[in-house]
Structures are given as structure tokens and as C-alpha cells.
Amino acid sequence: MPIMDNVASFIQKFISKNQISMAKFQKMADVSHNTIYAYRRGEGNPTIAMLEFIAGNLGVDPVLIILGVYDPDSKQVSMLVPDTVQSVAQLPHEEQVRFMHLLTAEIMKLWDTQ
């Protein structure tokens, strides 16, 4: 699913689960009316900085916006790891190895910064 479809999905889920209007969401996100409506339609081209700004205003992790996940009860988020493992298992062997190299490199970066 393209990232903008995920952003649109996140917005819809956030609005629905919090039972708020689109106008209230726009105010909470502190982004212009036109921008939020474009994102909700899966349009626009937000930068990572913009998604981080919106996430900060909403009190969520920006990764959730990029993934199209809004799950305050953590039911959907908790399935991301097993779903990822299942998806990686379906890749050709060379791509599985590449994925593991990239994942390991990122984990090492995280450990090095602590």
C-alpha cells in the first residue's frame, strides 16, 4: 500500500476511534485545512518532518502514520512483528538475507547510540 494511502487510513482511524470531526483533527494536528483534506484523500507529498510534526501534535509515533496504523489498544500494532516475519518468509532467499542484514545494521545503530 502506498504511503499516502497509509496516511489517509491513519487519519480516518484516528478520527473514528476518537469520535472527532475532521475540523477537530485538523486543529489537533495544527496543519492547514487544505493540507489535511489532501492527506485524507491520499494526496499531497508530506515530508518526514511534517509527519513527525503531526505525530507530535497528536501524541503518536510517526511510524504509525506511515504504516497507516492507529491502535490505542495496541491490538493491531502487536501483530506487526508476526506479520513482518510472515512476509519476509515469503521472500526469495536472497531477499531474506538482505532484509536480515539491513535489520541487523539498524539494530546495531540503535545499540551504538545508547
Predicted TM-score (pTM) of this structure: 0.66
Is the confidence at residue 1, as pLDDT, over 60? no
List C-alpha distances in Å: 110 to 48, 56, 60, 65, 104: 19, 21, 20, 21, 10
Residue 53's pLDDT is 96
Is the confidence at residue 21, as pLDDT, over 70? yes
Listed residue (106, 18, 58) closest to 50, CA to CA: 58
Residue 3's pLDDT is 86
| Spatial separation of the C-alpha atoms in residues 39 and 113, rounded to whole Å | 33
